[in-house]
Amino acid sequence: MNKRNRAQASSLFLLELTMAILFFSIASAVCVQIFVKSRAMSLHAEELNAAVREVSSAAEIVRASKSRAEAEEMIRSFYRDAVIWTEMAGESMAGMPEENRADVSDGMETAGGSSAEPMSEYVSRADFTVYYDEEFRLFTLENAGASADPAYRLQISLAEADGMLTAELAFWDDAAAADAAIYEQSAAHYMGGDR
């Protein structure tokens, strides 16, 4: 009978030990998932924080300017060491359907939601793209050799019509598969003019 009690005690001990191992295995798997999720959230928060900082800085440059030419010069001056892609265009709105004119002049509506006064027949635009490395530093010719491609980009689109300077700003992750900006902001600045 003594042997039988020992066998039952041993099997109960093994069962208890197996249950404890199973419990700690499940708990450790959950903890690893929590740490991985936490790291992903931390990286996303870091990206979003950098995007908001850079977009807000560019928006303040636009708001501080007195003309589109001054905004362009201030952008070039602020990002003077960075690799910048610039595209200038003048868009003639003659013959453009009225609904497309509204697309060109986004942000130029009155508080009531109706369209502001008719726009002029010519809208001038300037588009800038500023590049950043994976640590959110400006992508310059000096650090271009350290990393082959820029990791992020800030796109600034300036448009001027009827004394209103508008800017569409977006910060993108070039490595992400998603086709969505990390952060976007619009800025508008009335420069005065004949109305």
Per-residue model confidence as pLDDT tens digits over 55-86: 999 999 989 988 888 888 898 888 887 767 76
Q: pTM, whole model, 2 decimals?
A: 0.65
For residue 143, the model assigns a pLDDT of 66
> Percentage of the chain with pLDDT > 90?
30
Per-residue model confidence as pLDDT tens digits over 115-162: 333 333 444 677 888 888 888 888 877 766 665 678 888 999 998 888
pLDDT value at 34 more than 60: yes
Residue 7 binned pLDDT confidence (cut-offs 50, 70, 90): low
Instruction: Locate 158 and state its tokens.
Output: 């300036």
Tell me what the mean pLDDT of segment 9-22 comes to: 88
Residue 39 binned pLDDT confidence (cut-offs 50, 70, 90): very high
Residue 97 binned pLDDT confidence (cut-offs 50, 70, 90): very low
For residue 82, the model assigns a pLDDT of 74
Tell me what the mean pLDDT of segment 12-23 comes to: 92
Tell me what the mean pLDDT of segment 37-66 comes to: 92
